[in-house]
Structure 1
Amino acid sequence: MKVLVVLSCLIVAAFAADKYNAKYDNFDVDTLITNDRLLKAYINCFLDKGRCTPEGSDFKKTLPEAIETTCGKCTDKQKNNIRKVIKAIQQKHPKEWDALVKKNDPSGKHRANFDKFIQGSR
Structure 2
Amino acid sequence: MKYMLVGVLFALFGLVVCRPEDQYTNKYDNIDIEEIIKSDRLINSYFKCLMTGEGCTPDGAELRKILPDAIHSGCSKCSRKHKDVSKRMINHLIKNKPELWKQLEEKFDPQATYRTKYKDELEKEGFKGFKTN
TM-score (norm 1): 0.77
2:74 alignment partner in structure 1: 70
Report SS of the residue matched to 1:83: helix
Task: Name structure 2 gaps, 5 residues minimum.
Answer: 1-9, 127-133
The one-letter amino acid of 1:61's match is K
Given the alignment of the two structures, is residue 10 of structure 1 paired with residue 20 of structure 2, yes or no?
no
- Following superposition of structure 1 onto structure 2, how do residues 28-43 of structure 1 map, counting pairs within 5 Å? 28-43=32-47
Equivalenced residues, count:
116
Distance 1:98 1:10, change over 3 A: same
The question of whether the paired residues in 2 share the 8 Å contact of 1:7 and 1:27 is answered with no
Partners in 1 of 2:58 and 2:11 — Cα distance?
Answer: 12
Higher relative contact order (CA 8 A, sep 6+): 2
The one-letter amino acid of 1:55's match is D
Task: Name structure 1 gaps, 5 residues minimum.
Answer: 1-5
Partners in 2 of 1:56 and 1:115 — Cα distance?
Answer: 29
Selected match of 2:94 from 76, 90, 93: 90
The one-letter amino acid of 1:80's match is D
Given the alignment of the two structures, is residue 60 of structure 1 paired with residue 64 of structure 2, yes or no?
yes
Given the alignment of the two structures, is residue 27 of structure 1 paired with residue 46 of structure 2, yes or no?
no
Distance 1:15 1:98, change over 3 A: farther
Structure 1, 44-53 or 90-99: larger mean CA deviation: 44-53
Partners in 1 of 2:25 and 2:69 — Cα distance?
Answer: 15
RMSD of aligned alpha carbons:
2.6
Partners in 2 of 1:59 and 1:49 — Cα distance?
Answer: 10
Give every structure 1 segment of 4 or more consecutive aligned residues whose post-TM-superposition deviation is greater than 3 Å: 6-9, 114-119
- Following superposition of structure 1 onto structure 2, how do residues 96-115 of structure 1 map, counting pairs within 5 Å? 96-112=100-116, 113=118
The one-letter amino acid of 1:71's match is C
The share of aligned pairs that are identical, in percent, is 32
